Amino acid sequence: MSFVESEERIALRRAVAEFGAKYGQDYFTAKARAGEKTTELWEEAGKLGYLGVAVPEEYGGGGGGIGDLAAVCEELAAAGCPLLLMVVSPAICATVIARFGTDEQKSKWLPGFADGTLKMAFAITEPDAGSNSHRLRTNVRRDGDEWVLNGGKTYISGVDEVDAVLVVSILETGPVLVVVPTDAEGFTWQEIEMDLFMPEKQFTLFFDDVRLPSDAVVGSPDQGLQQVFAGLNPERIMGASMGTGSARLAIAKAVKYAQERKVWDTPIGAHQGLAHPLAKVHVEVELARLMTQKAAALYDSGRDREAGEAANMAKYAAGEAIAAAVDQAIQIHGGNGLSREFGLASMLASSRLSRIAPVSREMVLNFVAQNSLKLPRSY
């Protein structure tokens, strides 16, 4: 057992942190404000192998695990570049296809994931189902050699910039994962206006008799449920990493300001009223990082069930830590906390995202209450 990351992981973190610093938060928020994408950042990260670090080597990837990909996501977020699509494209979609896809599906999709030239969104959330996945209605049926998809999804990230969407759909035997190219006939989408500082946009999707080829369903249809779970754990681990990375950025800004700003004779960081809450959120972020690393280590060693519990706990802890870190960092900055110059107010709405997505804080607590503590369900 080791609580220390490997030399390779530490070197990866260092290299990604240096790379992220080349772009930084100013670049990222300027793109978000202008309604532009962080295309050059994504492409360069892809070329350097960071986005494909967990794709198997035989398909051109780094052959690492979700722990490596989560480290990339965390370091980019800590550098001010939280890439929302990293949570879905390389983490869920590539992982599910690498684990469950047919040889043909792997050859078709994985090389693009390995170098970042392919992006895929992930769609499970439906307007009427919300957190209740038993209510999913988007359905797929066979018609000769083809599949026909009908239904809709909501709050799906990045659909305007991806090649395809991995859609959780219901077949008569249960859920299956279907790859839907964004240019498929009958597939349309509408942007949801958000007050979030993110280059990635959110969409409601409509599938109206979308006809798909026979290889559109990932792997074997009877493994659909297992595939969904295999994708959701990496999503939670990545969501947690994006949260802890952004929390580290907020804390770093707060520490710098607390050391420099003087309104009496000592820097404001000497006042315990500011120092203790900051120390507290730093502890909380470190605890969340530790649980995230544990969840990734369990996932990478094939222990899906234990990874599920740890990934939920990590996502919960990271969600609370980032919300508290940004809140406290703003407080430490006084009026400057809400100015554009200090880059904290723009983090406020997104600091709440980790409590809501990919699974809400309350649904994580439900999971822990029922599965870890064996308490009865209320719903």
Q: Which residues bind ligand FAD (CB under 6 A)?
A: 88, 121-125, 130-131, 155-157, 202, 353, 356-360, 362-363, 366, 379
Distance (Å, rounded) from C-alpha 142 to C-alpha 81? Answer: 42
Looking only at the bridges linking them, the beta strands covering 120-123 and 164-171 are: parallel
Supply φ then ψ for residue 149, to 5 degrees: -110, 135
- CB nearer to ligand FAD: pick between 124 and 314: 124
Shortest spacing between CB 178 and ligand FAD, in angstroms: 14
- CB nearer to ligand FAD: pick between 69 and 297: 69
- CB nearer to ligand FAD: pick between 192 and 270: 192
Q: What is the DSSP letter of 116?
A: T
- CB nearer to ligand FAD: pick between 205 and 251: 205
Distance (Å, rounded) from C-alpha 343 to C-alpha 193? Answer: 22
Each residue of 192-217: b (16+ CB within 10 Å) or e? eeeebbbbbbbbbbebeebebeeebb
Q: Is 195 helix (H, G, I), strand (E, B) or coil?
A: coil
- CB nearer to ligand FAD: pick between 3 and 379: 379
Distance (Å, rounded) from C-alpha 231 to C-alpha 91? Answer: 7
Shortest spacing between CB 359 and ligand FAD, in angstroms: 5
- CB nearer to ligand FAD: pick between 126 and 300: 126
Q: What is the DSSP letter of 262?
A: B
CB-based contacts of 228: which residues, under 8 Å, 6+ apart? 124, 168, 175, 177
Q: Are 85 and 26 in contact (CB under 8 A)?
A: no
Shortest spacing between CB 9 and ligand FAD, in angstroms: 27
Residue nearest to ligand FAD (CB): 130
Give me the sign of the Cα torsion angle 348, 162, 115, 296.
Answer: positive
Shortest spacing between CB 279 and ligand FAD, in angstroms: 29
Shortest spacing between CB 194 and ligand FAD, in angstroms: 6
- CB nearer to ligand FAD: pick between 292 and 366: 366
Shortest spacing between CB 200 and ligand FAD, in angstroms: 8
Shortest spacing between CB 210 and ligand FAD, in angstroms: 17
